[in-house]
Structure 1
Amino acid sequence: MNFDLTDDQRMMLESFARYLDENSSTEKVRAAAETQGFDAVMWRGLAELGAFCLRVPEDQGGLGLGVMDAAVLMEEVGRTIAAGPVAETLVAARVLALLAASDQAELLEQIFTGETVTSIAYADISAQPKQWVAGGAVAQAVIARKGNQVVLVSVPQGAVQCEPTMADNAIAELDFANLESIVLGEGDKATKVFAQGLEEWKLLMSVALSGLSREAIRLASVYACEREAFGQLIGAYQGISHPLADLIVDVDGGKYLTWRAIHDISKGIDDAGAQISMALWWTADTAARAVTQSLHTFGGYGLATEYDIHLYNLRAKVWPLVYGDPSRVLEEAGRRLYAGEAVALPDVGQVDIDFDLGDEANAMAKELDDLFNRILTPELRAKAHYSFDGFDAGVHKTLAEHKFLFPEWPKDSGGREAEPYVINALRSVWESHGWTSHPVSTTGMVGTMIRKCGNDELKQDVLPKIIAGEAICSLGYSEPGCGSDVFAAKTKATPDGDGWWRIDGSKMWTSGANIAHYVLMLVRTNPDVPKHKGLTMFVVPMDSEGIEVQAVHTFQDERTNITYYDGVRVPDKYRLGEVDGGLKVMSAALALEHGGGFMKSQQALFESAEQMCAEITYQGKPLIQDVDAQKRLARTRAHTYIAEMLGDRALWVGVTGKESKAYGPMTKMFSSEKFQSDARDLLDLTAPYSLSKRDGAAGELNLAYRHAHGTTIYGGTSEVHRSMIAEKALGLPRTRG
């Protein structure tokens, strides 16, 4: 797996960033508005850096680089809202070179040097002779499709009647019926080259919008760290920080969804064409929301023209809207997924990013998949459930015998010393079979804490049972009335003589306590110090006298529990860490819990909805043929792909040791929130059939809707994760007490 740019791409990024910081400053962007929204000096400087020949093959005078290289440029163009149709010119230069390099050598050279601006028309000019063009106010030529021909349209000086536009950035409406053109090529080969160019433009614009959005959020975050209101920095208010946290996740997601599309094109993945459409739709929508919230952060000052944020606000709308309504691009994704619409994929060139988990991960995943297929009988599959309710002691022990319960553990501790990529692949297998991982993940976390913080006697007593698959564990953190504030615990442990402790109190949401052998419990051992300092962690045997387990049933068809502890005596060997040192132990436990996502649940959601849409009849035809249904299914797929990319990024950063800016919480928060909103939407789409709990897709979709509500709470609520993201990714002040 690799999310890194190549050395050459990093050098290119630094070069373009330095140049654009100086030559596309907001002062120069403002000045360009006075000259039809175009900066000729900046444009020629970009040309000198090789910008406009990036995508032209070497044998036609260009640099012969790939779309990922062009994406490096476009992200910087977006960050600095450079004045001019950069993406369109990149595409125009490539199309011109591929169709008529020798006949148009002079024009091609003028594009390379920045002397001539050449743009593209998005729609077939034979069907739509009058249309808006990016850079149309300053372009000397436009490349367009005209029926089965690709033509070069000359735009003489004075032929365009310029008019004020939202961002004053050189867009203009051209009447191609009144302009002269020459044919560059005709027939399927020529029109395919042009169609590939349009798809490449979508990718380049997607990256530019991501760069623009990121910079807008950065400006807002900096301001939120400077402006005070009611005695504190406004960034400390969750009403300011949480929306920005949501948006930076969406921005990252859009960037990596675009990268995924480029990668999957290079690998020949079936739905790569749909991913192109998804990327443009998502980044356009994200940019619109990002600049609006960023401007809102500035309050009234955001409306003042001397503040730069309004420049980003207007560009975020103008850049993609020249092409048309972004929601139409989501319709396009739906057609490509569900109506068989063909797409001419661009030649993306060399792609060095890679999202494969590797041969070892794939091999071990197959081994586990084969084992599940052997041991999961129809009866066991019918019993399967995502929660502790799906636990089966026989399956659990068989998995232990094959060292698949805790494969990341050392071999002498019942593991395989599997690397993180392998673990990720194995988790996907668990989820693909619908087999519960809760008893395993919870028990694994408790076992890891014992290995790290337990004394030798505890390790010798408990770990062998866990390793053999003979014991599972539950978590006792939350208490009635405390919610996510685990450090407000009131359940107390007091010394009871001869190295024993007495525990009294109650714990809420102790899922699996009814079948668990141990519970990892945070208790108060010192009430006379600040609440987070007087806590200690214990591993409590569930067969101890004085423990009562009462069922709490959720509307997710899941049992959890409230557990009561009345004079429960526990020997000191079951203590983890120092007395009153529970914070340190708890922090290590939370580090194991925060992160991850629900991508397989998301995938199962849209697959169930797809199946239902194929079976349900709407207005005399299958619902899946309905445009609105296709859009909504495509949207859910896009959310799933983004969650997967965020999860892969977090995994890769962890493996490589690179800095993580709350990438785990980003994955968990985005995945759970979209799982919930998409489940709600697809339940609506397939109603009333989705209301049934019958076997099959309807029951699965019904349960997904109910299950999704818990995912925004498990492992810390979305609000907790938003605060973490705001602090670590945006540098905003701490918002929690």
Structure 2
Amino acid sequence: MRFQLTEDQRALRAGVREVLARRFGPDALRAAVDAPGLDRGLWRALGEAGFFALRLPEERGGVGLGLPEAVLAFEEAGRALLPGPLVGTHLAAGTVPGAAEGETVVAVVDGGLVEWWDEADVVIGEGGSGAVPIRSVDPLTPLRRVPDATVRTAGPDPVAVLLTAAEQLGTATRACELAVGHARVREQFGRPIGAFQAVQHLCADMLVRAEVARAAVYAAAVTGDAADTACARVLADEAAVGNAGDCLQVFGGMGFTWEADVHLLLKRAWVRTRRAGGATESEELLARELLAGAG
């Protein structure tokens, strides 16, 4: 079976990347770090572009596409480090008025944590006693803890798991791109550091992680299988965290400074590993599948 993208899917991915480059490029990313807050204009622009309504049927005002197309869009969002409760608002399209159009920001209580509580118009799963602010390692993902959050009995939404994996894939890809770009221009001992074997190995490992995760995420988007989704989540989390860490190594000491964007990749990847059940629930699902298959 081949998982090549169609021309329409390539055009969709290019379109989302173009919108994000225009509305949330490097300067906007830095501005968001310096003055955290949700850009409502950008949120509405995403709604107008159909980002939140991609999987909503056309007869209900949506774009009428499927999960593979949503994965491509969320991959681009992860690549750009787009902030905000993207998954929650996307899943609420068609059920919460204004979510599909980007007029309503929807956050979701997830394992007792909720991202972007203060900016959300609707919080799904809030237990009624409010939420306590907690320190987030990522300056672009404010967090609150809900003490009496609704208990989730059916496990995380598999679509939320896969879209989170898609965001992690985008971040892993961006980390690889930044590392390779830096290795080509940064010089030591009169040579680009990319000429040194140790740096080459780091970049090669990053590419392998990203491409393995990409194959798993795209396959899960096509099959919709729970085990495929769990596998994609585990590989995407590993790729995002591992690639961001290796990217820091390629950048050296400057990668840890506020002047560089590299550390933001690692911090966002860390925060996402807690979302939608985290990799632990996906690992347990895969373990159950393996045990069942072994009889």
Shift of 1:176: 6.5
Distance in 1 between residues matched to 2:127 and 2:60, nearest whole Å: 22
User: Where do residues 88-487 of structure 1 align in structure 2 (5 Å cutoff)?
Assistant: 88-93=88-93, 97=94, 101=95, 107-108=96-97, 110-123=98-111, 131-144=112-125, 153=126, 160-175=131-146, 177=148, 198-265=157-224, 272-323=225-276, 325-339=278-292
Structure 1 residues 320-341: Cα deviation after superposition (integer angstroms, max 9, x where no partner): 224455244212211233258x
Tell me how far apart the structure 2 counterparts of residues 212 and 232 of structure 1 sit (CA, whole Å): 28
Q: TM-score, normalised by structure 2?
A: 0.89
**Deviation at 1:76?**
0.7
CA distance 1:312–1:67, shift in 2 (3 Å): same
- Per the TM alignment, residue 154 of structure 1 is displaced from its structure 2 partner at its CA by 9.2
CA distance 1:178–1:275, change in 2 (3 Å): closer
Q: What secondary structure sits across from 1:225 in the alignment?
A: helix
CA distance in 2, matches of 1:169, 1:323: 18
Equivalent residues of 1:23, 1:42 under 8 A apart: yes
> Following the alignment from structure 2 to structure 1, what is the Cα–Cα distance between the partners of residues 250 and 184?
11
- Residue type of the alignment partner of 1:301: M
* Paired positions, count: 294
- Separation in 2, partners of 1:67, 1:316: 22
Structure 2 residue matching 1:133: 3-state secondary structure = strand
Give 1:55's aligned residue. Answer: 55
Assess, with a 3 A threshold, how the Cα gap between structure 1 residues 178 and 283 changes in structure 2: closer, same or farther.
closer
Question: Against the structure 1 CA distance between its residues 324 and 199, is the aligned structure 2 distance closer, same or farther, given a 3 Å change threshold?
Answer: closer
Which residue of structure 2 aligns with residue 552 of structure 1? Answer: none
> Greater RCO between the two (CA within 8 Å, min separation 6)?
2
Aligned to 1:29: 29
Task: Indicate if the aligned counterparts of 1:120 and 1:133 stay in contact, CA closer than 8 A.
Answer: yes
Q: Structure 2: which 5+ runs fail to align?
A: none
CA distance in 1, matches of 2:174, 2:117: 26
Q: Does the CA-based 8 Å contact 1:137-1:170 persist in structure 2?
A: no
- Alignment correspondent of 2:81: 81
User: Cα distance, 1:164 vs. partner?
Assistant: 3.6
The alpha carbon displacement at 1:138 in A equals 1.9
Alignment check: 8 A CA contact 2:117 2:144 kept: yes
* Change over 3 Å in CA distance of 1:15–1:133 after alignment to 2: same
1:42 counterpart = 2:15: no
TM superposition shift of 1:251: 0.6
Q: Secondary structure of 1:305's match?
A: coil
- Alpha-carbon deviation of 1:279? 0.8
**Counterpart amino acid of residue 202 in structure 2:** P
User: Structure 1 residues 12, 155: closer, same or farther in 2, change over 3 A?
Assistant: farther
Query: What percent identity do the matched residue pairs reach?
Result: 30
TM-score (norm 1): 0.37
CA, structure 1 residues 36+163, in 2 after alignment: closer, same or farther (shift >3 Å)?
farther
Q: Is the 8 A contact 1:224 1:235 kept in 2?
A: yes
Alpha-carbon spacing, 1:177–1:306, altered in 2? closer, same or farther (3 Å): same
Report the AA paired with residue 276 of structure 1: T
In the aligned structure 2, how far is the partner of 1:264 from the partner of 1:68? 10
**Residues 442-478 of structure 1: CA distance to partner in whole angstroms, max 9, x if unpaired?**
xxxxxxxxxxxxxxxxxxxxxxxxxxxxxxxxxxxxx
Within 2, Cα distance between the matches of 1:64 and 1:176? Answer: 38
Kindly state the Cα deviation for residue 260 of structure 1 after the two structures are TM-superposed: 1.5
Alpha-carbon distance change, 39 to 326 in structure 1, aligned in 2, over 3 angstroms = same
Residues 559-595 of structure 1: CA deviation (Å, up to 9, x unaligned):
xxxxxxxxxxxxxxxxxxxxxxxxxxxxxxxxxxxxx
One-letter amino acid of the counterpart of residue 241, structure 2: A
Please state whether the residue corresponding to 1:51 is helix, strand or coil: coil
The 8 Å contact of residues 165 and 236 in structure 2, kept in 1 or not, is answered as yes
Q: Measured at CA, do residues 155 and 247 of structure 1 come closer, stay the same or move farther in structure 2, by a change above 3 Å?
A: farther
Change (3 A) 1:63 1:285: same
Residue 120 of structure 1: how far off its partner (Å) = 2.5
Larger Rg: 1
Deviations 1:406-436 (A, max 9, x none): xxxxxxxxxxxxxxxxxxxxxxxxxxxxxxx
Shift of 1:298: 0.7
Deviation at 1:137, TM superposition (A): 3.5
Q: How big is each residue's C-alpha offset from its partner over 1:488-538, in whole Å with a ceiling of 9 and x where there is no partner?
A: xxxxxxxxxxxxxxxxxxxxxxxxxxxxxxxxxxxxxxxxxxxxxxxxxxx
CA separation in 1, counterparts of 2:71 and 2:42? 19
- 1:12 maps to 12
Structure 1 contact 92–120 (Cα < 8 Å) conserved = no
Cα contact 2:161–2:233 (8 A) shared by 1: yes
Give SS of 1:244's match.
Answer: helix
1:89 and 1:160, CA in 2 relative to 1: closer, same or farther beyond 3 A?
same
Q: Secondary structure at the match of 1:298?
A: helix
Residues 282 and 233 of structure 1, relative CA distance in 2, 3 Å threshold? same
CA 1:329–1:2: 2 relative to 1, 3 Å: closer
Q: Which amino acid aligns with 1:335?
A: R
Aligned residue type for 2:100: F
1:314 maps to a residue whose letter is K
How far the C-alpha of 1:160 sits from its partner, in A, is: 4.7
CA contact (8 A) 1:88 1:134 kept: no
Q: Alpha-carbon deviation of 1:220? A: 0.9
